[in-house]
Each structure stands twice: as C-alpha cells, then as structure tokens.
Amino acid sequence: MHHHSEKALSVTWQEVHRDARELARRLKKKGPWQGIVAITRGGLVPAAILARELNIRLIDTVCVTSYENESEQTGLKILKPVIAASEHGGEGWLVIDDLVDTGETAREVRTMLPNAHFATIYAKPKGRPLTDTTIGEVPQDVWVYFPWDTAPLFIKPISEEE
C-alpha cells in the first residue's frame, strides 16, 4: 500500500464537497442523527460538510493513526477514544471517514460503536463491506490523494519538516 504506486487518483476540493453533499442527501433519509463522529484526520473535512448539510451540531472525534509515514500501514493506535457517542454503542450516530481502504480502522471503530452508521465518501473493495453508506468506489491498488494532502504534488506535513 504505497502511495508511490503508478495508479493514483487526485481528488479536488470541489469533488470532495460535491461527493460529501451527495453523501448528506443519502444520509438525510436515514436520520435523524444525534451527532457525528469524525475519524481523524481524514473524516474531519467530510464531517464539517455533513454537519452543515444535515444541521448537526454535536461532533466528536475518534483519533486513530494507522499510516506511520503516509505510505505504509503499520498497525492501529487509538490516540483518543470516542466520548459522546459511546452510550448505546453509537446508536443514532454517524461515523464519518474520507476513505475506507483495507478496513482496519473501520473494523476497530465498529468494535467501539457497533450500532453507529458508518459512512465514507470513498471505499476500496477490501473495506467496502464495513461501510453502511458510501459514494464512490476506488480500486484497491489506487492511492487517493485528497486536496488537503497536496499542492499540485504531495508535500510533507509541517510537523515533519526539518
């Protein structure tokens, strides 16, 4: 799972916004929702868009790290568990991420919130069965570049600069 793969998909801010709004349209029919749990960091931008579109004010995060250097998955680490949604296993809550890839993160979050509705903007085949609602399917061997990861090319986060 290296992002240096020749197969890559760059997603623009406009595409993320359009697809997140389409996700909101689909989720509106399945609500009402008590709140949103954003999986950090990828779920933060979609969560903000969904919160606006669905008029949801209560937002929590589950802070998970799985990509040690943005290129290889090195195992999951929960940096901050979910607080607000943990009652009733997440019943009535939306869990949001930008992409489900191998499903590792989704599987872990589902054990914490088994009754929550898990939604992503994009899904790869291995992770797709773990989502309840998704918008776009992406081949497993394609690396997705989100607009917050790119200028025109991949740039390291400021925290990693020397």
**pLDDT by residue, tens only, the chain of 162 residues:** 445 557 999 999 999 999 999 999 999 999 899 999 999 999 999 999 999 999 999 999 999 887 555 556 567 888 998 887 777 788 999 999 999 999 999 999 999 999 999 999 999 999 999 999 999 999 999 999 999 988 776 778 999 988
**Predicted TM-score (pTM) of this structure:** 0.83
| pLDDT for position 1 | 44
Q: How many domains does one find in the chain? A: 1
Look up 97 and say whether it is catalytic.
yes
Enumerate helices (H) and strands (E) in the chain, giving the number of each. Answer: 3, 8
Q: Domain residues for 136?
A: 8-150
Considering only CA atoms, which of 108, 88, 91, 89 is closest in space to residue 39? Answer: 108
Q: Is 138 exposed, middle or buried (0-12, 13-18, 19+ CB in 10 A)?
A: buried
DSSP state of 35: E
- Cα 100 from Cα 57, distance rounded (Å): 24
Look up 60 and say whether it is catalytic.
no
Is residue 46 a part of any domain in this protein?
Answer: yes
Q: Where are the beta strands (DSSP E) in 48-92?
A: 59-67, 73-80
| pLDDT for position 76 | 86
Is residue 73 a part of any domain in this protein?
Answer: yes
pLDDT digits (tens, 9 = 90+) for 82-115: 887 777 788 999 999 999 999 999 999 999 999 9
Catalytic residue chosen out of the listed positions 19, 60, 97, 149: 97
| pLDDT for position 4 | 54
| pLDDT for position 89 | 84
Look up 98 and say whether it is catalytic.
yes
Catalytic residue chosen out of the listed positions 98, 132, 141, 149: 98
Is residue 3 a part of any domain in this protein?
Answer: no
Is residue 158 a part of any domain in this protein?
Answer: no
Structure tokens at 150: 């790119």
Catalytic residue chosen out of the listed positions 19, 60, 101, 149: 101
Is residue 156 a part of any domain in this protein?
Answer: no
Contact yes or no for 3/137 (Cβ under 8 A) = no
Considering only CA atoms, which of 107, 119, 111 is closest in space to residue 43? Answer: 119
- Cα 67 from Cα 117, distance rounded (Å): 24
Looking only at the bridges linking them, the beta strands covering 59-67 and 73-80 are antiparallel
Is residue 157 a part of any domain in this protein?
Answer: no
Torsion 68-72-47-44 (CA) sign? positive
DSSP state of 158: G
Per-residue b/e over 70-81, b at no fewer than 16 CB within 10 Å?
eeeeeeeeeeee
Question: For the domain that residue 33 is a member of, what is the CATH number?
Answer: 3.40.50.2020
